[in-house]
């Protein structure tokens, strides 16, 4: 097919069209993805996550500019929330990336979450593959502004930057489970604000307590994205962390477990859809029985499963 070749050639219109096919789950998209898959795996994926307004988009912009001075091609996927009520969305991350629009070596795509809850959209995973196949050296994925448990980005990125800003809560926030555990690099943005040093100390303390098993500790970097402060240091640290991951084979381990998760979730989805479709009448009948308290939901499940076998 034509679109595959043009995507491999890096044609932006075709890349954009293919991402739409994936988002809309058009008939042919799985076949196309099958064909481009062997061209993927070359790009480094960087995830950027953090609270709303912490400066993720501005950091993406500044980081991309540094990668461009090294002549690296950069694909950016910026995710913003879709309204669960209307299905609509306002995707505004491009506002902070205006100066990248006309750069030949940059491709930016905004996506709505479209019902997904983990801070990404489901089409994100395939959009990354498309950008990878199109020859991007780096793919930066900016999640929606997250709270405490939207951690899907670890399933997608080689390296995760967790962006925090001073003044967002006390030190207990930093020791809660979830979000703090996913950062490969911690970025304290808007570090000209009060409390930046304290936040750095709190993060470092938390990391000290947690990393007894290995000597590796994620770096904590202070930045002011809008003033370009700390960005060079950040990009050097990204390289450092990547190097460390490659030396210790951690990157491969990460990518392997990602593929495992992808296959399992594809299996789960397809199986469940199949079962629900094939046994819809039986399920309806069992619902009635459970409602009447003739049987319980666990037994209903067992009846269906025994039929599937």
Partner 1 sequence: MSCTKTIRVLIAKPGLDGHDRGAKVIARALRDSGMEVIYTGLRQTPEQIVEAAIQEDVDVIGLSILSGAHNFLFPRVIELLKEKNAQDILVIGGGVIPDEDIPGLKAAGIAEVFTPGTPTSKIIDFIKSHVK
Q: Name the residues that contact partner 1, by CB under 8 A.
A: 12-13, 15-17, 19-20, 23-24, 82-83, 86-92, 94-95, 98, 101-102, 107-110, 112, 114-115
Q: How far is the CB of 111 from partner 1 (least distance, A)?
A: 8
Of 231, 212, 215, residue with least CA distance to 223 = 231
Q: Which is nearer to partner 1, 95 or 209 (CB)?
A: 95
Burial of residue 94 (CB within 10 Å: 0-12, 13-18, 19+) is middle
Of 122, 96, 99, residue with least CA distance to 111 = 122
For residues 8 and 100, is the Cβ–Cβ distance under 8 A? Answer: no
For residues 120 and 27, is the Cβ–Cβ distance under 8 A? Answer: no
Q: Which is nearer to partner 1, 50 or 112 (CB)?
A: 112
Q: How far is the CB of 76 from partner 1 (least distance, A)?
A: 9
Q: Which is nearer to partner 1, 23 or 202 (CB)?
A: 23
Angstrom distances, CA of residue 23 to CA of 126, 168, 293: 9, 34, 42
- Residues 308 and 285: their CA atoms lie apart, in Å, by 16
Q: How far is the CB of 152 from partner 1 (least distance, A)?
A: 19
Q: How far is the CB of 94 from partner 1 (least distance, A)?
A: 5
Q: Which is nearer to partner 1, 23 or 150 (CB)?
A: 23
Residue 290's CB is within 10 A of a number of other CB atoms, namely: 14
Q: Which is nearer to partner 1, 52 or 87 (CB)?
A: 87
Q: How far is the CB of 135 from partner 1 (least distance, A)?
A: 15
């Amino acid at each position: 097919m034509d679109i595959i070749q043009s995507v491999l050639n890096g044609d932006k219109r075709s890349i954009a069209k293919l991402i739409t096919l994936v988002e809309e789950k058009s008939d042919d998209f799985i076949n196309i993805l099958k064909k481009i898959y062997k061209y993927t795996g070359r790009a480094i994926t960087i995830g950027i996550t953090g609270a709303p307004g912490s400066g993720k988009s501005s950091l993406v912009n500044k980081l991309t500019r540094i990668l461009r001075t090294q002549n690296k091609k950069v694909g950016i996927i910026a995710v913003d929330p879709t309204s669960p009520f209307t299905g609509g969305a306002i995707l505004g991350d491009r506002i902070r990336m205006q100066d990248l629009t006309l750069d030949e070596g940059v491709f930016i795509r905004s996506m709505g979450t479209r019902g997904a809850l983990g801070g990404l959209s489901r089409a994100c995973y395939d959009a990354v593959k498309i950008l990878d196949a199109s020859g991007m050296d780096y793919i930066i994925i900016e999640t929606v502004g997250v709270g405490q448990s939207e951690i899907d980005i670890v399933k997608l990125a080689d390296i995760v930057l967790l962006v925090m800003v001073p003044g967002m809560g006390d030190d207990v926030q930093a020791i809660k489970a979830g979000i703090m555990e996913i950062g490969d690099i911690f970025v304290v943005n808007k570090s000209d604000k009060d409390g930046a040093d304290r936040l750095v100390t709190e993060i470092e303390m938390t990391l000290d307590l947690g990393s007894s098993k290995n000597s590796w500790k994620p770096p904590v970097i202070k930045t002011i994205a809008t003033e370009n402060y700390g960005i060079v240091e950040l990009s050097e640290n990204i390289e450092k962390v990547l190097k460390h991951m490659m030396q210790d084979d951690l990157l491969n381990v990460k990518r392997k477990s990602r593929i495992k998760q992808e296959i399992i979730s594809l299996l789960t989805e397809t199986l469940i859809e199949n079962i629900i479709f094939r046994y819809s009448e039986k399920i309806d009948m069992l619902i009635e029985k459970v409602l009447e308290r003739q049987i319980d939901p666990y037994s209903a499940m067992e009846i269906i499963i025994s039929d599937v076998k």
